[in-house]
Amino acid sequence: MNSISQDTHYRLSLLSYAKRFGVSKAARKYHVNRQFIYRLRWRYDGSPESLLPLSRRPHSHPNQHTEQEASLIKRMRRRHPHDGLVVFWIKLCKHGYTRSISGLYRFLQRIHLAPAKLPNPKYVPKPYEPGFPRYVTSHLTAFPQLSIFRSSQQRYNP
């Protein structure tokens, strides 16, 4: 069963209304430009697939990375998989890369080679040592008259 998308169904109803009542009335009712309706009429060949929304992506981009740059980035990323973005960019610049850091970041995101954040190492607490440090306890046992555990009467009546 062929299902028609919501956009295509909307455009079919727009064209049928424009055929019955005219382009200007259809443009006012559906809140679109007359030019849009004329464009749909020109594209429509009787099949709903002809009214599907077309891609707006450009056919080419003059500043895209060249094949040599792309292969250099992939080769260097294979050698240095855990380097951060800035360190990786500096290493690339030493090999002749001339683009910006943000351009490199976008390219790495597009080809899924952006550096993954490593998890923080697990926190392991130090073992608990009850009581005083060793030098204090050994000092108190060696000199009982200096003990901090003497009663208050002994302190005031030597």
What does the block give as tokens for 104?
A: 């490199």
pTM of the model: 0.46
Reported as a single tens digit per residue, the pLDDT across 42-65 is 999 999 899 988 899 999 889 999
Give the whole-angstrom CA distance, residue 100 versus residue 85: 11
Give tens-digit pLDDT for 1-32. 356 789 899 999 999 999 999 999 999 999 99
All structural domains of the chain with their residue ranges: 6-51, 67-110
Dihedral (C-alpha) 41, 46, 48, 53: value to the nearest 10 degrees? -30
What is the distance, to the nearest Å, from the Cα of residue 107 to the centroid of all Cα atoms in its chain?
13
List, for residues 89-126, the tens digit of each pLDDT value.
Answer: 999 999 999 999 999 999 999 999 987 777 788 888 88
Report H helices in the chain. 6-21, 23-30, 34-43, 67-79, 85-94, 101-110, 134-142, 152-156
The DSSP string of 105-129 is HHHHHHTT-PPPPPPPPPP-PPPP-
